[in-house]
Amino acid sequence: MKVAIVTGASRGIGACVAQGLAEDGFSLALTARSKEGLDQVAKKIKESNHKGVQILTFPCDVSDSKAVNQMVETTVKKFGRIDLLVNNAGMSKTGTLAISTDEFDEVLSVNLKGPFALLKAVVPTMKSQGDGTIINIASRAGKIGFAGWGAYAASKFGMVGLGESLYRELSPMGIRVTTLCPSWVDTDMAKVSTFPANQMLNPEDILKSIRYIMSLSPAAAVKELMIECRAHLA
Ligand code: NAP
């Protein structure tokens, strides 16, 4: 049995990745705050009738480290292992110094401390297995600080740094760590963008990137993958 944890699985990129991983035979632990959203995604996957695929849904806020620990413990209890973590849950907020300190804290809690809690909870299981894959979904805004997006950029730059350190620590142990840095992806989060949907990446591009990384030989290590939107580069 192959097992994946997907955070932020109630919609957008996470929902698409969950559906694709089920097609690939992964049993899934799906998490996000919305129980209704998770139930809908799980229902759709079950309707596709993938042989042997089991699904656990666990509504929780990623910024609540105790709940994250419980989710991971429940996953290991049910499935016995974790092969893949898709550390995807996140929020966006515009503003650099225009936002309050509380808002800045919230962005860091969800986008950086949340993924940190997941990594802390999942890595011991992967270490004991001697294998596993971690995909951190950061952003192009984790490589380039755009005007008006300082808090989001701070959280995603943090994720890129956290990912790179873990990449160096865990790769020699047989655990792959890759941080994806996509530009705009056509989901709810991108509704604030002025770019038309057909010029954005789509969630399938992220699923395909994850499949590509997992298809490489054990000798290959991919630290980061930046995926830009062709039309925005001119
Ligand atoms: P989305 O459609 O807004 O989905 C965000 C997901 O994260 C939802 O499942 C949401 O579920 C979950 N989430 C948000 N806050 C949460 C919290 N406090 N605790 C637990 N789950 C939470 O956005 P998306 O585009 O799929 O984004 C997924 C990831 O890709 C994010 O990390 C985002 O920063 C990154 N990204 C997105 C884009 C883009 O243009 N869309 C570009 C680059 C990177 P609930 O609301 O049910 O909790």
Please tell me the residue having the least CA distance from ligand 1 atom 40. 184
CB neighbour list of residue 6: distance below 8 Å, 6 or more residues apart? 14, 17, 18, 21, 28, 29, 30, 31, 86, 88
Positive or negative, the CA dihedral 39, 42, 48, 54 is negative
Other Cβ atoms less than 10 A from the Cβ of 176: the count is: 22
User: What are the pLDDT digits (tens) for 54-84?
Assistant: 999 999 999 999 999 999 999 999 999 999 9
- pLDDT digit string, tens, across residues 107-144: 999 999 999 999 999 999 999 999 999 999 999 999 99
Count of helices and strands (H, E) across the chain:
7, 7
Buried b (16+ CB within 10 A) or exposed e, 204-225: ebbbebbeebbeeeeeeebebb
- The answer to whether the pTM exceeds 0.85 is yes
So what's the pLDDT on residue 232? 87
Pocket probe for ligand 1: among 40, 103, 135, 187, the residue whose CB has the most ligand atoms within 8 Å is 187
Taking residues 155-160, report their average pLDDT: 98
Tens of pLDDT along 82-116? 999 999 999 999 999 999 999 999 999 999 999 99
Q: What are phi and psi of 227, to 5 degrees?
A: -120, 115
Confirm or reject: Cβ of 17 under 6 Å from ligand 1: no
How far, in Å, is the centroid of ligand 1 from the Cα of 172? 30
Give residue for tokens 């809908």.
40
- Ligand 1 lined by 109 (C-beta under 6 Å): no
Distance, CA of 18 to CA of 55 (rounded, Å): 10
- Give the Å distance between the CA of 88 and the centre of ligand 1: 7
Q: Is the CB of 185 under 6 A from ligand 1?
A: yes
Sign of CA dihedral 35, 36, 37, 39: positive
Which domains are present in the chain?
2-232 (3.40.50.720)
Q: Which of 88, 135, 162 to mutate to test the pocket of ligand 1 (most atoms within 8 A of CB)?
A: 88
Position in ligand 1 atom list of the atom nearest CA 141: 43
